[in-house]
């Protein structure tokens, strides 16, 4: 049985994961209408992955005797000046999610809820990977600078990353 404060914290994380999914879906839409097919595909995959993270939390809360809450979501940003700005926001958002997961882990440890603490270790590892991916992408964008040919190649490369990630990241 989940303690009430842990259930509340997990429900907060469910909302964060849902908003992450919506944010990346909005980024995918922006990229798609700007002709950045590879980036759009990557962002659609990221959106799906965040939704899967949310569902994993929902199932855990319900299986542990809590009640997962589906709440209203904050509307995501819909426009970006550049694709670089979009990826900078993606990186900042992943750092925010990592901080939130770390706080959740801290609460479970303080409350001696070792089952939930153990469950959350998957999210800790996932966030390390998500931050590294976002940072790597930003590094590549900075290498490209304003080179249009570089942008074309980057868009093709990130499309391949989206395909590779969709086949290896299945958090069931």
Task: Give the max Cα distance, the chain.
Answer: 56
DSSP 35-49: T-HHHHHHHHHHHHH
Q: How many residues does the chain have?
A: 172
Residue 17 marked ligand-binding = yes
Residue 126 marked ligand-binding = no
The secondary structure of the chain in percent helix, strand, coil, rounded to multiples of 5, reads 80, 0, 20
Residue 94 marked ligand-binding = yes
Q: Please report which helix (H) or strand (E) contains residue 123, including its range.
A: helix 114-144
Tell me the binding residues for Fe cation. Answer: 17, 50, 53, 94, 127
Tell me the binding residues. Answer: 17, 50, 53, 94, 127
């Amino acid at each position: 049985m989940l303690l009430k404060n842990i259930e509340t914290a997990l429900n907060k994380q469910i909302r964060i994961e849902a908003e992450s999914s919506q944010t990346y879906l909005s980024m995918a839409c922006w990229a798609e209408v700007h002709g950045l097919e590879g980036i759009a595909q990557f962002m659609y995959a990221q959106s799906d992955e965040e939704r899967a993270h949310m569902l994993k939390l929902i199932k855990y809360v319900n299986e542990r005797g809590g009640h997962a809450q589906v709440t209203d979501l904050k509307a995501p940003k819909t426009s970006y000046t550049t694709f670089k700005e979009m990826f900078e926001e993606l990186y900042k958002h992943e750092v925010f999610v990592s901080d939130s997961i770390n706080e959740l882990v801290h609460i479970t440890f303080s409350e001696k809820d070792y089952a939930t603490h153990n469950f959350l270790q998957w999210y800790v590892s996932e966030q390390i990977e998500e931050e590294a991916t976002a940072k790597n992408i930003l590094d590549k964008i900075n290498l490209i600078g304003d080179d249009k040919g570089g942008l074309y190649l980057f868009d093709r490369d990130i499309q391949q990353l989206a395909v590779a990630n969709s086949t290896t990241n299945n958090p069931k």
